[in-house]
Amino acid sequence: MTDFLQLIVSGTATGACYALAALGFTLLWQASGTINFALGEMVMLPAFIMLFFIGPAGLPLPLAFAATLVVSLIILGAGFKRLVVDPMIRHGVIPLVIATLGLSIALKQTVRIVYSAQVYTFPSIFSETLLSLGGAKLSVSDVGTVVIAGGLVLALQAFLNGTLTGRAMQAVAQNRDAAVVLGINAERMVLYAFLVNAGLAATTALLVTPVYLAKFDMGDTLGLKAFYAAIIGGFNNSRGALLGGILVGVLENLVGAYISPGYKEGVALLLFLGVILFKPEGLLGKAEERKV
Amino acid sequence: MMRFLLIAAAVIAIYFLPAGLKNYGIYIVTLWSVYVIAGMGLNLTVGYAGQISLGQAAFWGIGAYTTAIALKAGLPFLAALPLAALLCFGVGLLLGFPALRVQHHYLAFATLGFNILVYLVLRNEDWLTGGSFGINNIAEPTLLGWRISRPLDFFQFTWIATVAMGVLMALLLRSPWGRAFAALRDNPIRAESVGIDTTFYTLLAFAIGAAYAGVAGAFFACLVGFIEPAPFGVNTSLSMLLMVIAGGSGRFFGPAIGAMIVVLIPEWLRFAAEWYLAIFGVMIVVMMVWLPGGILSLPERLRGAK
Amino acid sequence: MTALLDVQAMQKAYGAIRAVDGVSFSVASGEILGVIGPNGSGKTTLFNAILGQVLPSAGSVAFEGHDVTGSKPLHLARRGIGRTFQSLQVFGKLSVRDNLIAAGQEFGTGKFARLFAAPEAGLGPRAEEIIALFRIGHVAHLPAGSLSYGQQKLVDIAMAFMSRPRLVLLDEPCAGVNPALIDQLTELLRRLNREAGTTFIVIEHNMDFVMNLCSRVICMAQGRILAEGPPAEVQANRAVLEAYLGA
Ligand SMILES: Nc1ncnc2c1ncn2[C@@H]1O[C@H](COP(=O)(O)OP(=O)(O)O)[C@@H](O)[C@H]1O
Ligand SMILES: [Mg+2]
């Protein structure tokens, strides 16, 4: 029973990280129709940038994170939009899928050459103490991860629904032409979406790397899980990403422990295929009727 | 007519060309030929029928494993080959069903998810697939008692099959079905309103595309003689899609050009040693930014630029 | 004699909006029925509900005495109903000729027979006939997506006739088409009506076109039928004028 509780809590923590990355993915899709296959690498790269700031540059972790955030916003946010997405978006979905794929290969391989294929440990922002809760031992880092990730998702939702800029971003996502007619600077709103995506990715890196460890291909599974979480939860709903992420994280832990570790990776997949077949708009999403 | 002669000359030249190559060179050219078969199938699904598939390598794997298992069971290659194609056709039909309900990114991830599922089965079901150890000592194919064991012979055999599959594809694309696929791609709503059964053609686009991958898989199994799950993962599906897009999606010779990019360029980049994959990745991005219609769109692009 | 098309109490709601709100009418074989009404009055939605493009919320549709309520567009096409769309809907990368053949090839023989049929499925002569009728011979070999708006509109309309439908629903055929072409189109539709006996329902804002062509007119406003009768009568109707002026 206590095992069970621990599995749930650590699954929730992993899932919350999936949710953060998933949220960035849905934002990009809504704002600009971009399917970003380099999502996992956009988490992996900040992890290594942070390692650089901590190691060779000798900064303490909070400062290293702040510096990484700035670099991410510039390169993975604005740079990615200008150099890769903008020139290609009018050619439809597939060229962009291929291009982000190429980007993912390039980023992964460059890091592999610079840092080798070695695994690096990564400092945690949390202490290693265990909390005792009715006999069960919970790690502070799991609980802290859930609190931070969950808080961020909710804060982002509050921003999207509660502020003028957030509403404008949603308006652009729903109907770009109408938003432009209303005087909204659509281009700027799309840029914000890319910046938020980059920020979320850097934060995800901060939270997952202590557990996943830094490796050039750490983004592979992470990116995939985030995609699943986004679709399972529902694309047009930021709480959907949170639900999807946590469902995936918890179920993986349970299947890995009680059914078969070999099919642990299959859980997200089955859940995902089920959702696609029976409720394509996602668990919390709203169905959109197609117009002729 | 001129065009026909040119194509015939190229087909014959490629048949004899590898005679001058060492075994590794012949292996690379054979691999290219195998990729062309799988790519033609994917080009039907993606380029002609307008669907998205990130799962072609799964069918490639199903074809390869089916062939390996059938050959181990003592079946001749000429029986294993249609078996592989048929099985892939059936599974491809099933994969078409999600495509009826969802499009765009959903379909991309549904097919990608399917690929991962197949990969997991290949890796975990030891009793059937040998798990992560795979299946080794796959028999060389035998044709009417003639054992094809020299690499050059096997290449020529593969090349004949590739050309035959190409001819079949050309006939399919010229038939009313080809037009129906294109109508489905260009405008599914309009297609329905003129009586085109989009459900049927969507399913068939996936199934026929999958059958081509199955045939490619059968040749791949015999080419390498040893199969394990690794080559049939998502990365290969992505390479195959890259191949179709980079060559020119919806163009008949797109996959042949694209397969060169995927198979040959990494070889040429070996001089760059460990940097070659990174360079490859950057090349893909640059090419998509500059030439999203693929290499075969280059002439139009140059004409348009003038 | 039963009507060719009979629509009863048709309703289509999008959430709280009742785009079509209880519309009943019928069309006799050989008629040309005009549908007018201000933008947003539910004309296109009515077409879509009749043609199975959207599922009606309530009501029924019968074609040649068979109940076809909620049938898929595909099946209605096979039963002999053609349509055109308000927005351009051609197969952009196919040539004009291929657009026409695509629009006619799925009728008659079974699918598997078509796999082995000649590339043009025996429809070459029919395509030439339609091309001549619509006078689009000079662009027949070009990709439909590369033509001007008016030319694409003609192709779009021409496609509806490939399969010799008994009923054709046209949604704003004159929008964006130049005046000379409109006269040509009027002539063409009249001829198809007279010679092939094709029945038409036409949504159109161009009043001259409607007055010239239609034998009867329905005016819609806010999802309902406001007036129905001979063109001149409907045009003179006060309620219709008010609906247009936005009373
Ligand atoms: N898919 C849809 N979702 C929501 N509302 C719709 C949809 N399609 C049409 N409507 C609404 O239905 C009403 C009628 O539209 P439409 O049939 O296009 O009018 P018309 O063709 O007469 O101009 C409009 O208010 C329109 O906004
Ligand atoms: Mg309308």
**Cβ neighbours for C9, distance < 8 A, ≥ 6 positions apart:** C22, C23, C24, C58, C59, C60
- Statement: residue A291 has pLDDT above 60: no
* Structural domain boundaries in chain B: 27-233
User: What residues are paired with C201 via a beta bridge?
Assistant: C33, C169
Which chain B residue has its CA at the smallest distance from C158's CA? B194
- Report if residue C240 sits inside a domain: yes
Which ligand ends up closest to the CA of C53? 1
The predicted structure's pLDDT at residue B146:
81
Mean pLDDT of C68-79: 94
Cβ–ligand 1 contact at C17 (below 6 Å): yes
**Whole-number Å distance between alpha carbons of C104 and B265:** 45
Rounded distance from Cα C41 to ligand 1 centre (Å): 8
Instruction: Sort out which chain C residues have CB atoms less than 8 A from A288's CB and list them.
Output: none
The sign of the dihedral angle between the CA atoms of A173, A178, A182, A186 is positive
Q: Do residues C111 and C153 both lie within one domain?
A: yes
- Statement: residue B83 has pLDDT above 80: yes
Which ligand ends up closest to the CA of C39? 1
Q: Which of A41, A90, A109 to mutate to test the interface with B (most CBs of B within 10 A)?
A: A109
Q: Which of B43, B103, B124, B288 to mutate to test the interface with A (most CBs of A within 10 A)?
A: B288
**Whole-number Å distance between alpha carbons of A285 and A50:** 35
What are A72-105's pLDDT values in tens digits?
999 999 999 999 888 887 777 778 888 888 899 8
Cβ–ligand 1 contact at C173 (below 6 Å): no
- Of the pLDDT bands very low, low, confident and very high (cuts 50, 70, 90), residue B28 is very high
Nearest atom in ligand 1 to the alpha carbon of residue C48 is 17
From residue B283, alpha-carbon distances to B278, B279, B288, B290, B306 in Å are 9, 6, 8, 10, 25
Q: Do residues C126 and C186 both lie within one domain?
A: no
Which is more confident, B200 or B131?
A: B200
Of the listed ranges B72-81, B126-135, C129-138, the least confidently predicted one is B126-135
Mean pLDDT of A166-177: 83
* HSE-up of residue A251 (Cα within 13 Å, Cβ side): 19
**Whole-number Å distance between alpha carbons of B196 and B189:** 10
The predicted structure's pLDDT at residue A51:
93
- B266 close contact with A: CB closer than 8 A: no
Instruction: Sort out which chain B residues have CB atoms less than 8 A from A113's CB and list them.
Output: 274-275, 278
Calculate what percentage of chain B has a pLDDT beyond 70: 98
| Whether B277 and A105 lie within 8 Å, measured CB to CB | yes
What are A196-216's pLDDT values in tens digits?
999 999 999 999 999 888 999
Q: Do residues C244 and C173 both lie within one domain?
A: yes
**Whole-number Å distance between alpha carbons of C205 and A119:** 70
- Statement: residue B218 has pLDDT above 90: yes
Cβ–ligand 1 contact at A291 (below 6 Å): yes
> Tokens 């890259």 identify what position?
B242
CATH number of the CATH domain containing C212: 3.40.50.300
Q: In this structure, what token pair is assigned to residue C240?
A: 């219709």
What are B239-290's pLDDT values in tens digits?
899 899 889 999 999 999 999 988 888 788 777 777 877 888 888 888 888 8
List the one residue out of A183, A205, A254 whose CA is nearest residue A3.
Answer: A254
* Structural domain boundaries in chain A: 2-127+141-278
Tell me the best of C11, C12, C14, C54 to mutate to test the pocket of ligand 1, counting ligand atoms within 8 Å of each CB and taking the most: C14
**Whole-number Å distance between alpha carbons of A89 and A19:** 25
- Statement: residue C69 has pLDDT above 90: yes
Task: Tell me whether strands C199-203 and C32-36 are parallel, antiparallel or unpaired.
Answer: parallel
Instruction: Sort out which chain C residues have CB atoms less than 8 A from A292's CB and list them.
Output: 44, 48, 53-54, 85, 87
Chain A nearest-CA distance from C44, in A, is 9
**Whole-number Å distance between alpha carbons of C77 and C74:** 5
Rounded distance from Cα A89 to ligand 2 centre (Å): 30
Sequence-separated contacts (24+) of C86-90 with Cβ below 8 Å: C86/C44, C86/C171, C86/C172, C86/C175, C86/C203, C87/A292, C88/C149, C88/C152, C88/C153, C88/C156, C89/B187, C89/B189, C89/B190, C89/B193, C89/C156, C90/B186, C90/B187, C90/B190, C90/C144, C90/C145, C90/C152, C90/C155, C90/C156, C90/C159
Chain B nearest-CA distance from A95, in A, is 6
Alpha helices in B175-253 (DSSP H): 176-186, 188-193, 198-224, 234-247
What are B168-210's pLDDT values in tens digits?
999 999 999 999 999 999 999 999 999 999 999 999 999 999 9
- Statement: residue A177 has pLDDT above 90: no
Computed over every residue of chain B, the mean pLDDT equals: 91
**Whole-number Å distance between alpha carbons of B204 and B96:** 8
- Statement: residue A292 has pLDDT above 50: no
Query: Structural domain tally of chain C?
Result: 2
- Whole-complex ipTM: 0.93
**Whole-number Å distance between alpha carbons of B238 and B55:** 8
Q: Do residues C69 and C104 both lie within one domain?
A: no
Q: Do residues C62 and C179 both lie within one domain?
A: yes
Q: Which helix (H) or strand (E) holds C210?
A: helix C207-213
The predicted structure's pLDDT at residue B104:
67
Residue type, A74: I
List the one residue out of A23, A34, A55 whose CA is nearest residue A204.
Answer: A23
Q: Which residue, of C163, C183, C211, is where some domain finishes?
A: C163
**Whole-number Å distance between alpha carbons of B277 and A103:** 11
The predicted structure's pLDDT at residue A197:
93
Mean pLDDT of A140-152: 89
Rounded distance from Cα B196 to ligand 1 centre (Å): 26
Query: Of how many residues is chain A composed?
Result: 292
Q: Do residues C65 and C186 both lie within one domain?
A: yes
- Statement: residue A290 has pLDDT above 50: no
Which ligand ends up closest to the CA of C41? 1
Burial code of A146-175, b = ≥16 C-beta within 10 A, e = fewer?
Answer: bebbbebbeebbebbeeeeebebbbbbbee
Q: Which residue, of C163, C188, C213, is where some domain finishes?
A: C163
Residue whose CA is at the smallest distance from ligand 1 atom 25:
C40
Cβ–ligand 1 contact at C42 (below 6 Å): yes
User: What dotted CATH number matches A2-127+141-278?
Assistant: 1.10.3470
Q: Which residue, of C130, C163, C196, is where some domain finishes?
A: C163
Cβ–ligand 1 contact at C55 (below 6 Å): no
| Whether A292 and C14 lie within 8 Å, measured CB to CB | no
Angle at C182 between CA C177 and CA C188, to 5 degrees: 125
Cβ–ligand 1 contact at C37 (below 6 Å): yes
- Statement: residue C159 has pLDDT above 50: yes
B244 within 8 A of B53, measured Cβ to Cβ: no
- Report if residue C85 sits inside a domain: no
Mean pLDDT of A4-15: 88
The predicted structure's pLDDT at residue C246:
64
Q: Which of A32, A88, A94, A263 to mutate to test the interface with B (most CBs of B within 10 A)?
A: A94
Q: Do residues C186 and C244 both lie within one domain?
A: yes
> Tokens 């991410």 identify what position?
A72
Cβ–ligand 1 contact at C48 (below 6 Å): no
Chain C nearest-CA distance from B252, in A, is 15
User: What residues are paired with C5 via a beta bridge?
Assistant: C27, C63
Task: Tell me whether strands C199-203 and A130-133 are parallel, antiparallel or unpaired.
Answer: unpaired
Chain C nearest-CA distance from A290, in A, is 9
Of the listed ranges A1-5, A29-33, A160-164, C188-192, the least confidently predicted one is A1-5
The predicted structure's pLDDT at residue C228:
93
Q: Do residues C52 and C72 both lie within one domain?
A: yes
Q: Do residues C188 and C71 both lie within one domain?
A: yes
| Whether C44 and A289 lie within 8 Å, measured CB to CB | no
Calculate what percentage of chain B has a pLDDT beyond 90: 63
Of the listed ranges A87-101, A154-168, B27-41, C85-99, the least confidently predicted one is A87-101
Which chain A residue has its CA at the smallest distance from C47's CA? A292
Cβ–ligand 1 contact at C39 (below 6 Å): yes
Boundaries of domain holding C135: 90-163
User: What residues are paired with C83 via a beta bridge?
Assistant: C169
**Whole-number Å distance between alpha carbons of A201 and A17:** 9
Q: Do residues C101 and C205 both lie within one domain?
A: no
- Report if residue C100 sits inside a domain: yes
Computed over every residue of chain C, the mean pLDDT equals: 92
Q: Do residues C68 and C179 both lie within one domain?
A: yes
Put simply, the chain B residues between 122 and 181 with a CB less than 8 A from any chain A CB are 123-124
Q: Do residues C156 and C215 both lie within one domain?
A: no
Burial code of A208-247, b = ≥16 C-beta within 10 A, e = fewer?
Answer: bbbbbebbbebbbebbbbbbbbbbbbbbbbbbbbbbbbbb
